[in-house]
Amino acid sequence: PEQKLWGGRFTGETDPLMHLYNGSLSYDQKMYDADLDNSKYYTEGLLKVGLLTPEELSEIHRGLEVIRGEWTSDSFVEKDGDEDIHTANERRLGEIIGRHIAGKVHTGRSRNDQVATDMRIYCRNALTKLQKILTDLIGAILQRSETEIDVLMPGYTHLQRAQPIRWSHWLNLYATYFVEDFKRLRQIKERLNVSPLGCGALAGHPYGIDREYIAGKLGFDDCIGNSLQAVSDRDFVVEILFWCSLFMNHVSRFSEDLILYSTAEFGFVKLSDAYSTGSSLMPQKKNPDSLELLRGKSGRVFGSLSWFMMSLKSIPSTYNKDMQEDKEPLFDALVTVEHSILISTGVISTLSINKENMFNALTMDMLATDLADYLVRKGVPFRETHHISGEAVSKAEKLKLSGIDQLSVAQYKEIDARFGDDVVDVFDFEVSVERRTATGGTAKCAVLKQIQKLKNKI
Ligand code: ARG
């Protein structure tokens, strides 16, 4: 039987199911690159303290590159005894360069500082990838926002028609969320980019290895200052899972809006065929499955966050095998988010809008606030104007008119003598929108300013 790397003190065999239960190679082989770099620079550190000769180091480096080639070309042959990516790579290195030299690689290193280091490298690269595709998503939204700046639509509160806004203003809402997500990614990356390597199993390194040197070579900004924390901290995994969850929360709300807007009842947007599916029974159906999955998969990602929080919460210091349970929820969330970003970008850049339907959904009652503001400009306190405008709404309703714009100037004067002939100017959606010029508002100049600001942030 295969000799386990840690098998020296063991006389009995591992139970076969326990072997499977214990192993993580099926999912942690994703980290092969990080693990090989880890060994590459760790052994440079060993050379510096005289634990390897230059000849041994170059043999080790040669072997590591052979292994990298095998993983990259999908020809790495896993063996029964391989438990995880670390033991698999070490076993293979021994086969390539001989166990005598390969056996020196792990001097002073434990899989505890090794896996913590690999995870941080893997996460750093994964977040960089997310930043890139998230930038594309934001770019796609802002592009629409710019070209469709003149389109008006109803803005909603409580899903009731509230006030007219620009379609671009709605787009910018999500661009703003995603820019905040982008900034958070940057902050998380900064926090996680510190090296645990050279802390051993928990107590530190017995050969005075230059941790700072190795950290620098591996692209870390600093070394973790406490060896116990170095091997047992997985807060960065939790932070990423929370990030993924919050991001999916934004995606889910974005999707929910678009699902509604794509119904016949709204008819504001139409998804491209590329992101829709049909019904097996009803030939007329075109379903927004992409958006429903974006909304649905948010639940899966939230699950990953609570899954790992539960696994982490009562682990005593320092490394315990429970920590191996960080990988599956993390990797699953990262893949789900990556695909969700790409699908969102596809959906938003290929859907078509129906600006007539958007405009026709605007109703005159949505200008009741503007009517109140009209009297405010004549010096009437807002609380009073709110009431007066409400009277106009109710009067129009009582007279079965189609809207407050149908009341005559005389009827307005009956409601309140301070109404003038110019009250008719209120009943224009464009005018209403264009009044909201203060920063963050829906007037054209304010929306364009937002687009510029958002662009500058990414
Ligand atoms: N596969 C393990 C993990 O992911 C590596 C660390 C194992 N360390 C140990 N002391 N058993 O956590």
Mean pLDDT, range 260-275, rounded to an integer? 97
Q: For helices 368-377 and 382-398, what crossing angle results, to 10°?
A: 130
279 carries an active-site annotation = yes
Q: What is the mean pLDDT of the chain?
A: 96
The CATH code that applies to domain 364-457 is 1.10.40.30
Residue 270 is classified by DSSP as: E
The continuous run of DSSP H or E covering 160 comes out as strand 160-166
User: What would the pLDDT profile of 198-244 be if each residue is shown by its tens digit?
Assistant: 999 999 999 999 999 999 999 999 999 999 999 999 999 999 999 99
Whether this model's pTM surpasses 0.90: yes
The Å distance, Cα 298 to ligand 1 centre, comes to 29
Q: What are the φ/ψ torsions at residue 117 (nearest 5 degrees)? A: -70, -45
Atom of ligand 1 nearest to the CA of 6: 11
How does pLDDT run across 345-387, given as a tens digit for each residue?
999 999 999 999 999 999 999 999 999 999 999 999 999 999 9
* Type of residue found at 229: Q
Identify the pLDDT of residue 279.
81
Q: What pLDDT is stored for residue 2 in this prediction?
A: 60
423: closest CA among 413, 433, 437? 413
Name, in order, each residue with C-beta under 8 angstroms of 364's C-beta and a sequence gap of 6 or more.
402, 403, 404, 405, 406, 427
List the domain boundaries for the chain: 7-102, 114-207+221-359, 364-457
Q: Which tens digit of pLDDT belongs to each residue from 122-140?
A: 999 999 999 999 999 999 9
CA 118 – CA 267 distance, rounded (Å): 49
Residue of 10, 38, 90, 112 to mutate, ligand 1, most atoms within 8 A of C-beta: 112
Residues above pLDDT 70, as percent of the chain: 99
Please tell me the distance from the alpha carbon of residue 331 to that of residue 63, in angstroms, as a whole number. Answer: 28
The per-residue pLDDT for 185 is 98
Domain 114-207+221-359 belongs in CATH node 3.40.50.170:
no
Query: What are the tens digits of pLDDT across the range 270-306?
Result: 999 999 988 888 888 889 999 999 999 999 999 999 9
Class of domain 7-102: mainly alpha
Rg, the chain, Cα only: 31
DSSP lists the bridge partners of residue 165 as 153
CB of 232 within 6 A of ligand 1: the answer is: no
Report the length, in residues, of the chain.
Answer: 458
- pLDDT given for residue 6 in this prediction: 81
Q: Which atom of ligand 1 is closest in space to residue 201's alpha carbon?
A: 10
Q: Is the pLDDT of residue 73 over 70?
A: yes
* Cis preceding-peptide flag for 176 (omega within 30 of 0): no
Mean pLDDT of 78-93: 96
- 230 CB less than 6 Å from ligand 1? no
Question: Cα of 115 to ligand 1 centre, how many Å?
Answer: 7
